[in-house]
Structure 1
Amino acid sequence: MASISNEIRIESSAGEVWKVIGDFATGPSRMAPGFVVDTRAEADCRVVTFADGTVVRERRVSVDHDTRRIVYAVVGGSVHPEHDNAAMQVVADGERRCRLVWTRDVLPDALAAPMAEAMANGLEVIKQTFDGT
């Protein structure tokens, strides 16, 4: 199983960033506008539509407000991995700065490179969204 881990530094407080990242129902559209064009909640899942036309159905695994960590699994959509589980965690780094750590475990291993590239692109949009807010 391939494991991908990316981290960015954001020039906003951990609390402000977590308000968006920790919102399972609407977080993707709010954290990465333009990269994500729609997020729709359905029971314990959300359907996320990306600008490139990719649609994924993600099941909420856990949302831990104390550690500012959200975990979800891709369970359907236009991408069909054997396994795709991800976690995002917001870590305070001072009063007005934080780090966003995004990890993902995926099968088959061949999906790791395109997923890593998509995550890196998404993180750049997320950083632009939050920096200075």
Structure 2
Amino acid sequence: MASVQKEIIIDADPAEVWAVISDFTDGPVRMAPGFVTDSRLDEPDVRIATFADGTIARERLIALDDQSRRLAYSVIGDTMAPTHDNASMQVFAHSDGRSRFVWIHDVQPDELAIAMGAAMDYGLNIFKQTMEPR
């Protein structure tokens, strides 16, 4: 199984970053507007995220922990259909009121890791721009 881990420092308060990440329904659009064009609940714990390139990911909420600022989810199908996926996003306090954001995907088949890593990099750059004051 391939594992992709990305980290980024965001010049924003951890509570503000967590407010976006913890919003399971609209978080993807709030995190990367334009890259993610739609996100909606399909079931109480399943969202459908649509990306600008037409990719659609059906994602199941696994855990949402406000105390540790950690969200875990799994891509379970649609046009993005790994045989296995486990993902987590976590926000940590960093120096001077900034945030360290860690995003991990464990995915099969292994070949998906390259495209997934590229999409994560792209989304993180947008997230950083969206969250940081101008």
Aligning the two structures, in what range does the TM-score lie when normalised by the shorter sequence? over 0.9
1:98 alignment partner in structure 2: 99
Q: Percent identity?
A: 51
2:9 alignment partner in structure 1: 9
In structure 2, the CA distance between the partners of 1:95 and 1:22, relative to structure 1 (3 Å rule), is farther
- 1:63 and 1:132 map into 2 onto residues whose CA distance is 27
1:130 alignment partner in structure 2: 131
2:33 alignment partner in structure 1: 33
TM-score by length of 1: 0.96
Deviation by residue 1:9-28 (Cα, 9 ceiling, x = unmatched) = 00000001101101111110
**Cα offset, 1:131, TM superposition:** 1.1
2:76 alignment partner in structure 1: 75
Number of equivalent positions: 133
Runs of 4+ in 1 over 3 A off after TM superposition: none
SS of 1:79's partner is coil
SS of 1:109's partner is coil
- 1:4 and 1:109 map into 2 onto residues whose CA distance is 10
- 2:80 and 2:16 map into 1 onto residues whose CA distance is 31
1:24 alignment partner in structure 2: 24
- 1:38 and 1:18 map into 2 onto residues whose CA distance is 20
- 1:19 and 1:75 map into 2 onto residues whose CA distance is 24
Letter in 2 for 1:12: A
- 2:52 and 2:64 map into 1 onto residues whose CA distance is 26
- 1:95 and 1:50 map into 2 onto residues whose CA distance is 33
Letter in 1 for 2:131: F
Which is further off, 122-131 or 93-102?
A: 93-102
After superposition, the CA RMSD in angstroms is 1.1
SS of 2:115's partner is helix
Letter in 2 for 1:111: L
- 1:75 and 1:27 map into 2 onto residues whose CA distance is 18
